[in-house]
Structure 1
Amino acid sequence: MLQMMSTNSQVDASLDDDTNTNHHHHHQQQQEEEKEIMEKTEDYNEKAEMSKNRPFQPWWKQITLRSMVASVVIGGIYSVIIMKLNLTTGINPNLNVSAALLAFIFIRTWVKMVRKLGFVSAPFTKQENTMIQTCVVACYGIAMGGGFGSYLLGLNKKTYEQTGVNTEGNPPDSYKEPGIGWMTGYLFLVCFIGLFVLIPLRKILIVDYKLTFPSGMATAVLINGFHSMGDDVAKKQVKSFTKYFSLSFIWGFFQWFYSGQGECGFSQFPTFGLQAQKQTFYFDFSLTYVGTGMICPHIVNISMLLGAILSWGIMYPLIRKEKGDWYPENMPESSMRSLNGYKVFIPIALLLGDGLYNFIKITCITLTSMYAKLRDRRLASSGNPDENKAINHDPKQDEVFLRESFPLWIAPCGYIAMAIISTFAIPTIFPQLKWYYIVVAYIFAPSLAFCNAYGAGLTDINMAYNYGKVGLFIIAALSGKEHGVVAGLAGAGLIKSIIAVSFTLMQDFKTGHLTYASPRAMLISQAIGTVLGCIVAPLSFFLFYKAFDIGNPNGEYKAPYAIIYRNMAVLGVEGFSALPRHCLHLCYGFFVFGAGINIVKDLSPARFGKWMPVPTAMALPFLVGAYVAIDMCIGSVVVFVLDRLKTNKAELLVPAIASGLICGEGLWTLPASILALAKVKPPICMKFLAS
Structure 2
Amino acid sequence: MKVERELSLRAVLTGLVLGIVLTPSNVYAGLKIGWSFNMSIIALLIGFSFWQGLASRSRSCPAWTIHESNINQTVASAAASIISGGLVAPIPAYTLLTGEQLQAGPMMAWVFSVSFLGIWIAWYLRPSLIADNNLKFPEGMATLETMTHIYNHGQEAMRRLWVLIGAAVFSGLVKAVDTFYWAFPRWSPTAHLERLTFTFDPSLLLVGFGGIIGLRVGLTLLLGAALTWGGIAPWLLAQGLVELPPGSEGPQFAVLVEWLLWPGVTIMVISTLASLALRIVQVRNVGKSASTGTSVVWQRPKLGPLAGLAVAIGLIVTLQAALFGINWLMALLTIPLALCLAAVAARVVGATGIPPIGAIGQLSQLGFGIVAPGQVPINLMSANTAGGAAGQCTDLMNDFKVGHAIGATPAKQVIAQCLGIAIGSVVGVLVYQTLIPDPQTMLLTEEWPAPAVATWKAVAQTLTSGLDSLSTSIRWAMLIAAVVGLVLGILDACAKARLARYLPSAAALGLAFILPASISLMMALGAILTWAASLRWRSLTERFAIAAAAGLIAGESITGIGASLWQLLQNL
Q: TM-score normalized by structure 1?
A: 0.76
Identity of aligned residues (%): 22
- For residue 185 of structure 1, the aligned residue among 100, 109, 114 is 109
The structure with the greater share of residues assigned to helix is 2
- Secondary structure (helix, strand or coil) at the match of 2:34 reads coil
In the alignment, structure 1 residue 312 sits paired with structure 2 residue 229? yes
**Structure 1 spans left out of the alignment, 5+ residues:** 1-53, 161-173, 260-264, 381-404, 682-691
Q: How many residues align?
A: 567
Match of 2:342 in 1: 449
Cα gap change, 1:110/1:153 in structure 2, threshold over 3 Å: closer, same or farther?
farther
- The aligned counterpart of 1:29 is none
Structure 2 counterparts to residues 617-636 of structure 1, below 5 A: 617-636=508-527
Which residue of structure 2 aligns with residue 402 of structure 1?
none
Contact 1:335/1:341, CA 8 A, preserved across alignment: no
Q: 1:105 to 1:302 in 2, by over 3 A?
A: farther
Change in Cα spacing, 1:234 to 1:193, as seen in structure 2 (3 Å) is closer
Q: Are the aligned partners of 1:66 and 1:107 in contact in 2 as well (CA < 8 Å)? A: no
Please give the alpha-carbon distance, in whole angstroms, between the structure 2 residues aligned to 1:614 and 1:94: 20
Task: State the Cα deviation string for residues 86-109 of structure 1 (Å, max 9, x = none).
Answer: 222212233332332233334345
Does the C-alpha gap of structure 1 residues 460 and 110 become closer, same or farther in structure 2, counting only changes over 3 Å? Answer: same
1:563 is matched with: 454
Q: Is the 8 A contact 2:92 2:439 kept in 1?
A: no
Q: Which residue of 1 aligns with 2:173?
A: 250
The verdict on how the C-alpha distance between 1:373 and 1:331 changes in structure 2, with shifts beyond 3 A counting, is farther
1:127 aligned residue: 67
| TM-fit CA distance, 1:623 | 1.7
Change (3 A) 1:224 1:538: same
Stretches of structure 2 lacking an aligned partner (at least 5 in a row): none
Q: For the residues of structure 2 that align with 1:454 and 1:129, how far apart are their CA atoms?
A: 26
Could you tell me which of 419, 443, 450 is aligned with 2:313? Answer: 419
Q: For each residue in 1:591-637, what CA deviation from the matched residue of structure 2 results, as whole angstroms up to 9, or x when unmatched? A: 11012123345555543331101111111121221112222122223
Q: CA, structure 1 residues 406+283, in 2 after alignment: closer, same or farther (shift >3 Å)?
A: farther
For 1:257, what is the secondary structure of its paired residue?
helix
Residue in structure 2 matched with residue 194 of structure 1 by the alignment: 118
Say whether the 8 Å CA contact 1:97–1:219 is kept in structure 2.
yes
SS at match of 1:248: helix
How far apart, CA to CA, are the structure 2 residues paired with 1:440 and 1:212? 32
Displacement, 1:451? Answer: 2.4
Deviation for aligned residue 1:545: 2.1
TM-score, length basis structure 2: 0.91
- 1:183 positional shift: 0.4
CA deviation profile, 1:244-286 (whole Å, cap 9, x unmatched): 2221121121111356xxxxx32x5215554433322233111
Q: Deviations over 1:274-301 (max 9, x none)?
A: 4433322233111111111112222111
Distance in structure 1 (CA, Å) of the matches to 2:242 and 2:449: 23
Offset of residue 409 of structure 1: 2.7
Mapped contact 2:338–2:387 kept (Cα < 8 A): no
Alpha-carbon contact 1:125-1:227 (below 8 Å) kept: no
**2:129 is matched with which residue: 205, 212, 218?**
205
Contact 1:332–1:338 (Cα < 8 Å) also in 2: no
Out of 270, 274, 279, which is 1:353 matched to? 270
Q: Which amino acid aligns with 1:68?
A: V
Q: Which residue of 1 aligns with 2:388?
A: 497
1:216–1:508 contact (8 Å) kept in structure 2? yes
3-state secondary structure, aligned to 1:649: helix
In structure 2, which of residues 84, 87, 98 is the aligned counterpart of residue 148 of structure 1?
87
Q: Note closer, same or farther for the CA distance 1:668–1:105 as it changes in structure 2 (3 Å cut).
A: farther
Query: Which residue in the other structure is 1:409 paired with?
Result: 303
Q: Distance in 1 between matches of 2:391 and 2:66?
A: 25
Tell whether the 8 Å contact from 1:547 to 1:674 is kept in structure 2 after alignment. Answer: no
The answer to whether the 8 Å contact 2:263/2:477 transfers is yes
Cα deviation 1:321-376 (Å, max 9, x = unaligned): 111xx4678899999997444222111110122122112112211221222236x7
In 2, the alpha carbon distance for the partners of 1:339 and 1:246 equals: 36
1:311 offset after TM fit, Å? 0.5
User: Aligned residue for 1:101?
Assistant: 45
Q: Quick one: distance in 1 between partners of 2:226 and 2:139?
A: 31
8 Å CA contact 1:193, 1:498 repeated in 2: yes
Aligned residue runs from structure 1 range 541-620, under 5 A: 541-546=432-437, 551-601=442-492, 604=495, 606-620=497-511
Cα distance in structure 1, aligned partners of 2:193 and 2:52: 47
Kept in 2: contact 1:62–1:127 (CA 8 A): yes
Alpha-carbon distance in structure 1 between the residues aligned to 2:197 and 2:92? 24
Q: Tell me, what secondary structure is at the counterpart of 2:550? A: helix
8 Å CA contact 1:137, 1:529 repeated in 2: yes
User: Which digits, 9 at most, give the CA deviation of each residue in 1:21-80, with x for residues without a partner?
Assistant: xxxxxxxxxxxxxxxxxxxxxxxxxxxxxxxxx7342xxx31222222322222112211
Which of 50, 75, 85 is equivalent to 2:19? Answer: 75
- The alignment partner of 1:577 has SS state of helix
| SS of match in other structure, 1:629 | helix
Q: CA deviation at 1:428?
A: 0.7
Amino acid at match of 1:283: F
1:212-223 matches, within 5 Å, as: 212-223=136-147
Pairwise CA distance, 1:218: 0.7
Q: Where do residues 321-470 of structure 1 align in structure 2 (5 Å cutoff)?
A: 321-323=238-240, 326=241, 339-373=256-290, 377=293, 408-431=302-325, 433-470=326-363
For 2:2, the equivalent position in structure 1 comes to 55
Q: What's the offset of the Cα at 1:571?
A: 0.7
- Counterpart-to-counterpart distance in 1, 2:222 and 2:21: 29
1:638 aligns with 2:561: no
1:169-227, CA deviations, whole angstroms, 9 ceiling, x for partnerless residues? xxxxx331131021012123222122111323322211244520001111110111111
2:90 aligned counterpart, secondary structure: coil
What's the secondary structure of 1:227's corresponding residue?
Answer: helix
Pair member with larger Rg: 1
Residue type of the partner of 1:475?
A: F
> Are the counterparts in 1 of residues 115 and 392 from structure 2 also a CA contact under 8 Å?
yes
Amino acid aligned to 2:523:
M
Q: Which amino acid aligns with 1:430?
A: F
Distance verdict in 2 for CA 1:340–1:277, change over 3 Å: closer
Contact 1:87 1:550 in 2 (8 A): no
